[in-house]
């Protein structure tokens, strides 16, 4: 039985959106942002979700246990701008039932 | 002045395939691309990654897809202006267009097909205050002429191959090379990383990690940069040049100012007919366009390129009748004189 989760996404203008994300469609956070058009097309998910562009960088504000960072993601963040300790690439965060209540903020466009 | 039938802006998979479809209609193509090689994102961002949704290919590496497309269009002798960005467009009285690149190369064609993907690849610029003021005054995002750095002090920032490779190269040219990276780890090729380690041990590269450039100083020209290690006070480092090498990102760029209708960072086209833009004679195909239900897929770009070419033919030859032909039936006549065709059946009696 599939389960939808509720997450809070703060866009680049500082507006917080409460959205519902499916967990059965192999969607990641970057795709959820795009599906709700919370960032203009062409400014997020540029590489398509391969952890190769950092356009989906976000700051994670809740203390959910997230998937461990891959070497690719870590190295991409090492070259991204506006990086903080809680930075992650949205494309590397898969939507799973454990992420119910997740709170994230999109990093500035760069 | 370069003259052609269809001027294609963007040499990614969609632009390349358009050459094939145009060739079947005996139309010649010229392609402009900001990158130094054809292939667009497939070649620049993910050449070694597999693609699984190209019809007929259960799996194909992006780089191989580009190689195959180049081979497929070879008979139609496409020509290229590479490493230059299409900057301006001018519509002449006879309805044809002149497109000029940032380096001043002029192209003349009756049809312009924009297959620009997400835009032209531009260097990513770090968010440092006043950075733009120092561009070409000591700040360069691309190293074009290494001689410029002869006997100068250079600070390079970045952690990828280009930052590593240029740091290595410039040790023989510059008087002082400093490499600054936010991490201790580098993601470049192992050879390069080891070489930088060796040059660091020899004192030829001044390696500062984990650190970032946080400010630039100088009146008319860069004279120093501020290097900040996390949690420490910034230090000032005298330098003549600061070269941030953080890779490339696509930007729609000057095309956005060509008077085309733009929506969602893409060019609006008529998808009910031929992917023409609001300016007759200018088409947009592939990831660069948008219409209701648009999907940014290579296979959709191929379809759009095909319809665009048929419409372009009608536009160039409004009075000629034409019907679609199948390559299996008609074969392919290359502009280079080659011909490919299905083997003819042989009639022979059996006695």
ipTM of the complex: 0.82
pLDDT at position B345: 79
Indicate the fold that domain B2-122+249-340 takes in CATH.
FAD/NAD(P)-binding domain (3.50.50)
CB atoms within 10 A of CB B299: 14
CA atoms of B157 and B217, how far apart (whole Å):
16
Please, what is the end-to-end C-alpha distance for chain A in angstroms?
39
Q: State which residue of chain B sits closest to A108, comparing Cα positions.
A: B127
Phi-psi domain of B66 (left: phi exceeds 0; alpha: psi -120 through 50; beta: other): alpha
Size of interface A-B (CB pairs under 8 A): 54
Encode chain B (351 residues) as per-residue pLDDT tens digits: 999 999 999 999 999 999 999 999 999 999 999 999 999 999 988 899 999 999 999 999 999 999 999 999 999 999 999 999 999 999 999 999 999 999 999 999 999 999 999 898 889 999 999 999 999 999 999 898 999 999 999 999 999 889 999 999 999 999 999 999 999 998 888 999 999 999 999 999 999 999 999 999 999 999 999 999 988 999 999 999 999 999 888 888 899 999 999 998 899 999 899 999 999 999 999 999 999 999 999 999 999 999 999 999 999 999 999 888 899 999 999 999 999 998 887 888 888
Task: Tell me the percentage of chain A whose pLDDT exceeds 90.
Answer: 84
Q: Are strands B339-340 and B332-333 parallel, antiparallel or unpaired?
A: antiparallel
Q: Which CATH superfamily includes the segment(s) A4-106?
A: Beta-grasp domain (3.10.20.30)
- Asked if B286 contacts B117 with a C-beta cutoff of 8 angstroms, the reply is yes
- Same CATH fold assignment for domains B2-122+249-340 and B131-246: yes
Structural domain boundaries in chain B:
2-122+249-340, 131-246
Task: Write the CA distances from B224 to B38, B203, B206, B212, B213, integer angstroms.
Answer: 38, 20, 15, 14, 10
- Asked if A59 contacts A42 with a C-beta cutoff of 8 angstroms, the reply is no
Q: Who's near B255: CB < 8 A, 6+ residues apart? A: B9, B86, B114, B116, B119, B267, B288
Task: Find the CB nearest A79 among B41, B158, B266.
Answer: B158
Question: In A, which residues are within 8 Å of B252 by CB distance?
Answer: 42
The residue among B123, B113, B83 whose CA lies nearest residue B101 is B83
Decide if B185 and A79 are in contact by the 8 Å CB cutoff: no
Structural domain boundaries in chain A:
4-106
Q: State which residue of chain A sits closest to B246, comparing Cα positions.
A: A79
CATH number of B131-246: 3.50.50.60
pLDDT at position B101: 97
Decide if A41 and B159 are in contact by the 8 Å CB cutoff: no
Decide if B265 and A41 are in contact by the 8 Å CB cutoff: yes
| Collapsed DSSP state (helix, strand, coil) of residue B304 | helix
Q: State which residue of chain A sits closest to B123, comparing Cα positions.
A: A110
The residue among B209, B167, B163 whose CA lies nearest residue B185 is B209
Give the closest-approach CA distance of B257 to chain A in angstroms: 17
Please give the structure tokens belonging to residue A65: 């246990």
Question: In B, which residues are within 8 Å of A47 by CB distance?
Answer: 41, 45-46
- Contacting A with CB below 8 Å, chain B residues are 41, 45-46, 49, 118-119, 124, 126-127, 158-160, 181-183, 185, 187, 246-247, 249-250, 252, 264-266, 290
- Asked if B309 contacts B73 with a C-beta cutoff of 8 angstroms, the reply is no
- Asked if B231 contacts B237 with a C-beta cutoff of 8 angstroms, the reply is no
Decide if B45 and A82 are in contact by the 8 Å CB cutoff: no
Q: State which residue of chain B sits closest to A82, comparing Cα positions.
A: B127
Q: State which residue of chain B sits closest to A72, comparing Cα positions.
A: B187
CA atoms of B2 and B303, how far apart (whole Å):
27
**DSSP H or E run through A29:** helix A29-35
Question: In B, which residues are within 8 Å of A78 by CB distance?
Answer: 159, 181-183, 185, 187
CB atoms within 10 A of CB A51: 19
Decide if A42 and B118 are in contact by the 8 Å CB cutoff: yes
């Amino acid at each position: 039985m599939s389960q939808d989760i509720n997450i809070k996404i703060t866009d680049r203008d500082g507006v917080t959106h409460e959205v519902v994300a499916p967990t059965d469609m192999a969607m990641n956070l970057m795709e959820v942002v795009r599906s709700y058009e919370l960032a203009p097309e062409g400014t997020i998910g540029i590489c398509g979700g391969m952890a190769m562009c950092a356009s989906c960088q976000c700051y994670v504000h809740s203390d959910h246990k997230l998937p461990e960072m891959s070497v690719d993601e870590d190295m991409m963040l090492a070259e991204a701008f506006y990086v903080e300790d809680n930075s992650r690439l949205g494309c590397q965060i898969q939507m799973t039932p454990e992420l119910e209540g997740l709170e994230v903020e999109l990093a500035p466009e760069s | 002045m370069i003259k052609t039938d269809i001027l294609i802006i963007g040499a990614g998979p969609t632009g390349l395939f358009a050459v094939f479809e145009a060739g079947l209609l005996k139309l010649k193509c010229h392609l402009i691309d900001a990158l130094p090689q054809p292939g667009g994102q497939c070649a620049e961002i993910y050449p070694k990654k597999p693609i699984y949704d190209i019809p007929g290919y259960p799996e194909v590496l992006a780089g191989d897809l580009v190689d195959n497309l180049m081979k497929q269009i070879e008979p139609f002798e496409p020509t290229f202006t590479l490493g230059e960005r299409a900057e301006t467009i001018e519509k002449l009285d006879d309805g044809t267009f002149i497109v000029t690149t940032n380096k001043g190369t002029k192209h003349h064609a009756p049809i312009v097909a924009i297959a620009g993907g997400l835009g032209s690849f531009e260097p990513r610029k770090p968010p440092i205050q006043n950075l733009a003021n120092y561009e070409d005054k000591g700040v360069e995002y691309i190293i074009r002429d290494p001689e410029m750095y002869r006997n100068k002090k250079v600070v390079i920032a970045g952690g990828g191959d280009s930052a590593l490779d240029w740091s290595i190269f410039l040790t023989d040219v510059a008087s002082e090379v400093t490499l600054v990276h936010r991490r201790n780890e580098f993601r470049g090729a192992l050879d390069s990383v080891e070489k930088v380690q060796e040059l660091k041990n020899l004192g030829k590269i001044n390696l500062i990690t984990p650190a970032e450039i946080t400010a630039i100083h100088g009146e008319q020209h860069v004279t120093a940069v501020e290097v900040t290690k996390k949690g420490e006070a910034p230090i000032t480092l005298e330098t003549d040049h600061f070269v941030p090498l953080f890779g490339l990102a696509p930007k729609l760029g000057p095309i956005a100012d060509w008077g085309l209708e733009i929506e969602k960072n893409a060019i609006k086209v008529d998808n009910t007919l031929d992917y023409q833009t609001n300016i007759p004679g200018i088409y947009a195909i592939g990831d660069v366009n948008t219409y209701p239900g648009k999907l940014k897929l290579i296979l959709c770009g191929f379809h759009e390129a095909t319809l665009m070419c048929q419409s372009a033919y009608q536009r160039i030859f409004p009075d000629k009748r034409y019907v679609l032909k199948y390559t299996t039936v008609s074969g392919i006549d290359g502009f280079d004189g080659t011909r490919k065709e299905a083997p003819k059946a042989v009639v022979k009696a059996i006695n």
